[in-house]
Amino acid sequence: MEVLNEIKELYRKRVDFHRTEKATTLRIKAVCRRLCDGDKKEAEKLFKALDNLNHPQTPYAAEYLAPMRAAKKMLEGERKAVEKQLTKLARSLPVWENWLQDVRGVGVLSIVYFMVSFKQFQRTSYLSCLSWFSFLGVYRDWE
């Protein structure tokens, strides 16, 4: 259960980083729209041009948005580091090794989402394949 608690806490950390990163991106885009007098298409061009300075307002916007962009980059790095830890922990679980790694379309972070999201899963340790089949409604004990 220690691994499950660690996965749960890391997932929450990942969600916090992701939400803050997304909010920062939206704030940067809002500033770009303001600098372009509300023109969404022009603001999107400015947002994309922040790295290569090929927009008339890019120098001012790049300087203005530098702290926000640095914060976004830092959050992205932290989120990716947490995702790497989550991947390592999730791949160590028997349910991943014995079943889910062979299922197309199911990623490592998907299993983490299942573990954290479902209340029943949090109360019980679903680490074996049989219990996962049962939990997902694929397997029933007919005895």
Per-residue pLDDT tens digits for 27-50? 999 999 999 999 999 999 999 888
In angstroms, rounded to a whole number, what is the distance separating the alpha carbons of residues 98 and 14?
26
Q: Which long-range contacts (CB under 8 A, 24 or more apart) does 66-70 make?
A: 68/24, 68/27, 68/28, 68/31, 69/28
pTM of the model: 0.74
Per-residue pLDDT tens digits for 55-94? 788 888 888 999 999 999 999 999 999 999 999 988 887 7
> Cα–chain-centroid distance for residue 21?
10
Asked if 115 and 121 touch (Cβ cutoff 8 Å), the reply is yes
